[in-house]
Amino acid sequence: MNQLSVISSALVVLTSATVYAGENKETSEKSDWFGELRVSHEASDSISISDSTSGNDKMQTFRGVEVSSLTSFGAAVGKRFDNDFYLSLGLEKFGSPEVKATGGYTTVGGDVTTSATFPFEMTNYMIEVGVANQISENFDLRLFGGLGLASAKSKDWSAVTSGVSGFASSRATTKSNTSMRVGFGLGYKLNEGTQLVTAVQYSNYGEVFWKNNDNNNGITAKIKSVEAGIRLVFDL
């Protein structure tokens, strides 16, 4: 009789635990809200620079312009809708990116600059809309696009002109731009409620402006890049 009671009690406990686990799993699978941790790095870039400075100090030509250290770390929160669509709001912070004129340029006055470095800071706020199409039990293929606001703050830039290193002082200028993004990714289910997404994306962050100290002229760089990224997506 005691053995039967023990067995009966054990069956009740196991049944209750199974039902509870099943309910939790079902709830997890139906979770609409999710969070993301993001990291991305530029794989290639398209940088253009223009100079509004007048007189002999105006830069005449640029060669070999590139951006370096365009690495971002960010987080996002989002909501899933029917038909595999989702919407997210994210914040991305960039480390210490720099625009480099590595091929050299010349000024109208004839000074030859062999290299120049234009550092800046940047934060990007972005709303993304995407669709995640399940292609197998553990994998999904996703397409996404985004629109946001990139805030870029320039720092003092440096150059080597006619063989002499120089440090050009400029006013720290913050410029806000409309940012845009399109991309695709492959998601892998790590466990119930957690995914690892690898993504490739094209981003346009707008302009960075290095303003001269004595006037409103200066140097403008337009930042566009193709980036490789990883996202950890988890249910909330």
Predicted confidence (pLDDT) at residue 84 exceeds the cutoff of 60: yes
Return the beta strands (E) in 85-235 as ranges: 85-94, 98-101, 105-106, 112-134, 139-154, 157-161, 164-168, 170-171, 174-191, 194-212, 218-235
Angle at 81 between CA 77 and CA 86, to 5 degrees: 45
pTM higher than 0.85? no
Topology (CATH level 3) of domain 32-235: Porin (2.40.160)
Rg, C-alpha atoms of the chain: 26
> What pLDDT does 205 receive?
95
**Average of per-residue pLDDT across 42-61:** 66
Q: Residue 162 carries which DSSP code?
A: T
Distance CA 235, CA 223 (A): 33
Q: What percent of the chain has pLDDT over 90?
A: 47
> What pLDDT does 7 receive?
42
On whether the CB atoms of residues 79 and 90 are closer than 8 A, the answer is: no
Range with lowest mean pLDDT among 4-8, 132-136, 185-189? 4-8
> What pLDDT does 93 receive?
96
Q: Of the ranges 163-172, 198-207, 213-222, which is most confident? A: 198-207
**Average of per-residue pLDDT across 126-142:** 95
> What pLDDT does 4 receive?
44
**Average of per-residue pLDDT across 31-60:** 77
Give DSSP secondary structure letters for 171-210: E--EEEEEEEEEEEEEEEEEETTEEEEEEEEEEEEEEEEE
pLDDT confidence bin for 21, thresholds 50/70/90:
very low
Query: Torsion angle of alpha carbons 115, 120, 125, 126, nearest 10°?
Result: 0
Predicted confidence (pLDDT) at residue 194 exceeds the cutoff of 70: yes
Range with lowest mean pLDDT among 92-101, 182-191, 208-217? 208-217
